Structure 1
């Protein structure tokens, strides 16, 4: 494709109106998929849902073709572009009766809002950036959960076998306590036989829910802050580049004016020789 036409096409694809149109189509797709899932598949609206679904798929295909044509190889260097391409391509796979599960990929198209809306894309990018730190804290949390489950099984197996009868039950019970959901009922069942069991549950909640989970939140907030700072730095660099280009244009314009004045005015050296 000629560079000029590609540049014009890139201008169209990057235009806010084009992005808003894509967002509107994705939103419409999400609404229709929800209505379709709750409606009678053999009802009178089934044909309408079928036509709308194919029309939206056609729009997404045209969008992908325009974006690939506008950006060329740069399209395939962007991970978000690959995400959009896979989601749209999955909807084009014919789903036979034996492969009807493939039709569920249509619902993934709603997730394209993540790649289209810049703020949502920053949030997901920040989460991916925070994965190394999150992994360490999650391992710490799992170790804490496992140790607490083993201790709980040893201490309260006889007092509350419905909660700590074996390691599997104990793990599930401690995970429930970790979520701080209905943990007083678990504690009361154990404390009916073991009055001091509250020390175990209170200590576990303080360490896990108050300390470790807040560490997770801190890592995510830090990653979000880094992502925002990176975006602001890129915006500042772009602004500085625009200002530099504008200053260079002014300097070139001044140089051209000086050259024109020099061509019109007489040379002082010639004037001195004439005298």
Structure 2
């Protein structure tokens, strides 16, 4: 009866407390601290001997405990390995391996390398060093001039000068037209234009030469500063050609050569080719750039629409011209009426032009010419033409152009990025206004009572609805945004409102489902482990 089975057993000698003894001499964990046994009776000095059944239960418990300890140790080792592979630990490890600081021992322990103060000081030193490395050297005046000539500011200045030059050309044409009108006695005034506008002709010549000097200096300066890179842009070639053309105009104007004045005027109008420079500026103006892209993308659609309209106009015009030809050839008809009808429908070119007038301009005179002189049945023809072509066909063409414009706008990634950034900036400004209005104490923080005042103000309800935030969930909003200190600052408010903006997205729902699945799996694993442990205990007990 004194012999015990192999494994843990009760020691016969113990001083007031019994403990298990493992064959190896020790047990892991807190088992060496002792397993309390039933104290012996003081009157009985003989060692207690446990029964075989109780000893079997103890052996089963010890074996189960050792197995669980081994599982926990394996799990801890796996978690430790995963922890060492996380991004922060990798960063700190890289900092330790690749950053050397003078005066430090190369065999410094990892715990010292991961010390917070040391890491922060090292990161500060690295930041300062990187700033010194990335610090741009001081630019020379020549380099600053090169950057200025390629900047949007310089393009805007030249564009403004070009616009002023165009206005000057318009004023010059107005003056020359007024002079021609006086020469043919079109105007009732008896004073010539040069007397009505004293000094205008000399002023126009001086302004024209001034703009010539400005544009020439622009091209020469850019060639001297940009050198070979100047010729890489097609717009610069156009500018150079316009300057050469302008200088030739000035030379021919000042010379005594017999040059046609109309030719000189056309040469002056050639300066308008510099307007292509606005295309460069359009890349920096969102709306103007989008307009040019839509116009260029609609060229093909415009060509097809023009062909359809020309075909319809030709067919309808030839039908009307054929119906009117008998009236024009009948000598018995009134001669004045025939001339009136011939003015609109006499030839193919007149008919073609009249059909476009009927479609886009004043269609009543041409229609009245046929209704009053030929037949009133033309009323039905013109009403049907205006309803089918003038209303249905033109609206379809317009809708196609609008659809093409929207398609270009939706496919322009650069424009969409800028538009999204603009909306984010506007949303941020609204949030800042809301935060300042709610912060009564002006301390830069929102307390709970300040936050709850939003519920009592109807204007704040409108603000929250514009920000796509529900005011009746304000308490939950505060609890979700609050980091735990009982108040929220501007950064917490901005980040929280951005996350809670609008309805739940599909990504939010998917993330929530993933977390719920992970929690359910963890609960099922724990429940399965618990059931297996109970089953093993019941089997061991039996």
Shorter-chain TM-score tier = 0.5 to 0.7
Q: Which residue of 2 aligns with 1:232?
A: 415
User: Once the 2 structures are TM-superposed, how far is the Cα of residue 91 of structure 1 from its aligned partner?
Assistant: 0.9
> Secondary structure at 2:259's aligned position in 1?
coil
Partner of 1:87: 242
Q: Deviations over 1:236-262 (max 9, x none)?
A: 9xxxxxxxxxxxxxxxxxxxxxxxxxx
SS of residue in 2 equivalent to 1:59:
helix
8 Å CA contact 1:178–1:205 kept in 2: the answer is yes
Offset of residue 146 of structure 1: 1.4
Q: Distance in 1 between matches of 2:155 and 2:365?
A: 51
**Corresponding residue to 2:233 among 75, 78, 90:** 78
TM-score normalised by the chain length of structure 1 = 0.66
Number of residue pairs matched by the alignment = 231
For 1:202 and 1:125, the matched residues in 2 are separated by 33
Distance 2:416 2:398 in 1: 30
Alignment partners' CA distance in 2, 1:85 and 1:235: 34
Residue of structure 2 equivalent to 1:27: 163
Which residue of structure 1 aligns with residue 296 of structure 2? Answer: 128
Partner of 1:182, secondary structure, is coil
TM-score by length of 2: 0.36
1:105 is matched with 267
Q: Is the 8 A contact 1:150 1:167 kept in 2?
A: yes
**CA drift at 1:204:** 2.8
Is this contact kept in 2: 1:10–1:70, CA < 8 A? Answer: yes
Q: Establish whether residue 176 from structure 1 lines up as the match of residue 361 from structure 2.
A: no
1:32 positional shift:
3.4
List gaps (5 residues or longer) in structure 2.
1-139, 176-192, 328-340, 420-542
> Does 2:365 match 1:185?
yes
The Cα offsets for residues 176-219 of structure 1, whole Å up to 9 and x where unpaired, read as 1121x211333333344114222234323234433335535554
- For the residues of structure 1 that align with 2:267 and 2:408, how far apart are their CA atoms? 30
**Relative contact order higher in (CA < 8 Å, ≥ 6 apart):** 1
Within 5 Å, which residues of 2 pair with 1:194-205?
A: 194=377, 195-197=379-381, 198-205=383-390
Contact 2:409 2:415 in 1 (8 A): no
Aligned partners of 1:36 and 1:49 also within 8 Å: yes
1:175 Cα deviation after fit: 1.0
**Inter-partner Cα distance in structure 1 for 2:214 and 2:229:** 22
Structure 1: distance between partners of 2:270 and 2:384? 46
Q: 1:49 corresponds to which residue?
A: 204
- The reply on whether 1:40 has 2:221 as its aligned counterpart is no
Note if contact 1:123-1:224 (Cα within 8 Å) is conserved in structure 2. no
